[in-house]
Structure 1
Amino acid sequence: MFAQFALHERLLKAVAELNFVEPTPVQAAAIPPALEGKDLRVIAQTGSGKTAAFVLPLLNRLLGDGNSKQRLSIRALILLPTRELAQQTLKEVERFAQFTFLKAGLVTGGEDFKVQAAMMRKIDILIGTPGRLIEHANAGNLPLDEVEVLVFDEADRMLDMGFAEDAQRLAEACGPHQTLLFSATTGGNGLREMVAKVLKDPQHLMLNSVSQLNEGTRQQIITADHNYHKEQLVDWLLANETYDKAIVFTNTRVQADRLYGKLVAAGVKAFVLHGEKDQKDRKLAIDRLRQGAVKVLVATDVAARGLDVEGLDLVINFDMPRSGDEYVHRIGRTGRAGGEGLAVSLICHTDWNLMSSIERYLKQRFERRTIKELKGIYQGPKNLKASGKAAGSKKKKTDKKDPKKATASKRKTGPRPAGKPSVLVSADGSAPLKRKKPAAE
């Protein structure tokens, strides 16, 4: 029960109003030390309830004894890597603060600069992305000397996006404060350096390892011969799997646009989201998916963070993500809050090594799956290697036994029947390639 925490009565009232009954593991672990004012480094998977784990202690601290009602200054700063995640967090803060006098504001790119500057003079809690906040700091619009609580949410992703220097500069601009740092993964050296610089004598809470993805999510791979084959597999999965909403991830904007066009032409209600889209289009894509106006979102990794859509139960990796952490963030979109989900990765010969390295990173083995109607030639290098060894061994034995008989046998075989050329398809599926005859022929 949330009543076990030493929270202000107005916050407990909001928690009850929102039907929060039992705290999640990350909330149970992080809220007590955060209420004591300790710096925290928390590693918890996406969808585990970590937003409430830092929002409730933050609000409790700002409420204090209620005597600070007349203060007009930024007393808490929450940094996030993307606009979508910042917007989502603002809504959560407003929900928990609904019975208090505390006001929150949002500062991200794509909005009027002067309006944001005026708004920041009237709020207690500032939520934003590092890049835009640095612009305001350079313009003299961002007084942070009275900040009491600083939160880094999705800190690992923030560093991946190149915000390390901006985030540290903002931390240095804050007055004496408590720092709460949350991430979905342990990150690399960059995150460790950031922790050392921004946290003072922190308490470390590891609520999950990267291998503990959402328990309700099945993880599968399907081998494919080339990109055109992958497109056929996407069509089949979207037509035959049971889902309310789905995301198809690609690694490039060009592939996202191409796949989106093919889906729309086939009558699929879809939308596309990538870094070239402006804020209006990005918001429209996510809103339509949440509202059910579209069932499928084709996206690059720009959508892998800050996307909390109820009923999202199918994730397809058209391209394998480039790292294990990115895989975790993509797959974290589904199977949330105890729900069930399916994650399918499409693997051709250029993806296999990356897929294998992600399996090792997660200490898992993905379920192998075959779609009978679309079974391809490529089944992975191990199978090919094994069959190649067997064939080579057999040939060698025949030649050794009697080279003359082998030559005679070769002559009897004769040329291939007309009209049955042996062909392979190029990697992108754009053109057939004639297969070279083996040396033995």
Structure 2
Amino acid sequence: MPVNLRDNAVFADIEFHPRLLAGLEQLEITQPTEVQALMLPLALAGRDVQVCAETGSGKTLAYLLPIMEKLLANAAPASATRALVLVPTRELARQVFKTAQLFCDLNSLNVGLLTGGDEFKYQAAVLRKNPEIVVSTPGRLVDHLKRGSAELKDLEFLVLDEADRMLDMGFAEDMEMIVGRSKKERQTFMLSATLRHEGIGRIARSMLNNPESLTTRTVQDQHEFIRQQRILADDNAHKDRLLVWLLANETYDKAIIFVNKRTEVDRLNTFLRRHRNGIAMLHGDMTQDERNYVMQSLREGKRNILVATDVAARGLDVDGMDLVINYDLARKGDEYVHRIGRTGRAGNSGLAISLIAPHEWNLKAAIERYLQQQMEERTIAELKGNYRGPKKVKASGKAAGKKKPKSNTKTAKSTGKPLAKKSDKKKSGPRPSRPQPRAGTLMDSEGFAPVKRRKPDAS
């Protein structure tokens, strides 16, 4: 029998299965977050929902709880996969899987995980057991669909978590294929910390049925607990010195350093290890076992500084991550939001510092316009560089005292006759000869330049 949550001081006015209540108690959750309070009633009522909420706001439970409640209330043991959660990265997939597994261990439901890095044979065996819930990255699920090892004809719930990131990573076609293979009569949830993406509207219209749109907080008023600073740097060598100083002088439990290239992750990892201990790195070229080891080391406190690409900007939920350093500035405003969202989670305070080189100034300004918020200017006295920001652009025309252009016709002082233009002067001497082409070479209309032969059209 479902239990009224008011009796358990958990999520008043909403009823959940006792096994789900046990999971909430195990997580020591006694009241819903804002996004959960808004989404749960709509999801339980069967509505499609499009959600924009900041990182660390509890979006995962906002869709997992109603899905599991409905699956428990309507058993279908002969069905294939009944609920699918699509996420862009392996790290986020494992985080969602871990949360779902905690609840499934307390009830009759099963959850499977499909990501790159694991053997197809093992994952096919997981799918043959027909887990009610599958958490997957798009690319790996498409591979299983093509091999015939995954089946979505019985799908009742589809979740697109971090949908904008999946579009940025080029998964649009994969998402469309997955939706095309899914049961049409389903309930769909689309969630992200940012939904300002040119493709989001199209995806929402094609994949959601008359959805309710929820926005708990816009990007402009997110991260009120995160202090955002910027430090000007001359070049990467200057950034290296600033980075070492910050890691030595800031107070933090754990720190993450973001760069844009995998090669830069390797370089900074080697460079920082010469200055301090506890350095780890994370990027897309690492094996799944390597990535799992890095995440476990961070959670257990064996490492406390992570150098990473944007693969860690979403789905990385590690307690005590209170310092974010953008060694390279994010290329887009929403990626910047996700990066700094690794800190300041669940009401905790955090610090985000961006090192700005001359070529990144305009990008910084674009991000500030996107956030409608200025980064706090900061200078480290002993490491102050030469770059002070862009020079002021001089005004043009009369404001700059620019003289009116003179007439093209000049007069010689001595004779009073107009001077001839350079183009009017006759060139003396014979016309220089051009190199003669080899015999058989096609010539242009003037007989000078060789004309390249066109290859016949392949069609």
Place the TM-score, normalised by the shorter chain, in its bin. 0.7 to 0.9
TM-score where L is the length of structure 2: 0.82
In the alignment, what sits opposite 1:157? 165
Picking from 356, 359, 371, the partner of 1:347 is 356
Picking from 132, 137, 155, the partner of 1:147 is 155
What is the alpha-carbon root mean square deviation over aligned residues? 1.9
Identity of aligned residues (%): 50
- Is 2:180 aligned against 1:172? yes
In 1, the alpha carbon distance for the partners of 2:156 and 2:79 equals 14
Picking from 68, 93, 97, the partner of 1:86 is 93
- The higher radius of gyration belongs to 2
In 2, the alpha carbon distance for the partners of 1:20 and 1:155 equals 27
In the alignment, what sits opposite 1:26? 35
Q: Structure 1 residues 269 and 14 mapped into 2: Cα distance closer, same or farther (>3 Å)? A: closer
User: Displacement, 1:4?
Assistant: 2.2
SS of the residue 1:142 aligns to: coil
Picking from 278, 281, 288, the partner of 1:279 is 288
In 2, the alpha carbon distance for the partners of 1:88 and 1:4 equals 28
User: Displacement, 1:73?
Assistant: 2.1
In the alignment, what sits opposite 1:411? none
In 2, the alpha carbon distance for the partners of 1:290 and 1:16 equals 22
SS of the residue 2:256 aligns to: strand
In the alignment, what sits opposite 1:235? 244
> Letter of the aligned partner of 1:193 in structure 2?
R
- Is 2:116 aligned against 1:106? no
In the alignment, what sits opposite 1:360? 369
User: Displacement, 1:359?
Assistant: 0.1
Q: Deviation string for 1:190-226 (max 9, x for gaps)?
A: 1111101100010000111111222211000000111
- Is 2:82 aligned against 1:75? yes
Q: How does 1:397-408 map to 2 (within 5 A)?
A: none
SS of the residue 1:328 aligns to: helix
**Which structure 2 residue ranges, 5 or more long, are not aligned?**
1-9, 403-459
8 Å contact kept, 1:359–1:365: yes
SS of the residue 1:385 aligns to: coil
- Is 2:143 aligned against 1:135? yes
8 Å contact kept, 2:80–2:153: no
Matched residue pairs, number?
Answer: 388
8 Å contact kept, 1:213–1:332: no
**Which structure 1 residue ranges, 5 or more long, are not aligned?**
397-441
Which has the larger helix fraction? Answer: 1
User: Displacement, 1:268?
Assistant: 3.0
8 Å contact kept, 1:72–1:121: no
In 2, the alpha carbon distance for the partners of 1:18 and 1:274 equals 30
Q: How does 1:5-16 map to 2 (within 5 A)?
A: 5-16=14-25
Q: How does 1:259-338 map to 2 (within 5 A)?
A: 259-338=268-347
In 1, the alpha carbon distance for the partners of 2:377 and 2:103 equals 44
8 Å contact kept, 1:2–1:12: no
In 2, the alpha carbon distance for the partners of 1:113 and 1:257 equals 29
In the alignment, what sits opposite 1:191? 200
Q: Deviation string for 1:22-67 (max 9, x for gaps)?
A: 11000000011000110000011111110000000010110115x4
User: Displacement, 1:72?
Assistant: 4.9
Picking from 122, 126, 132, the partner of 1:115 is 122
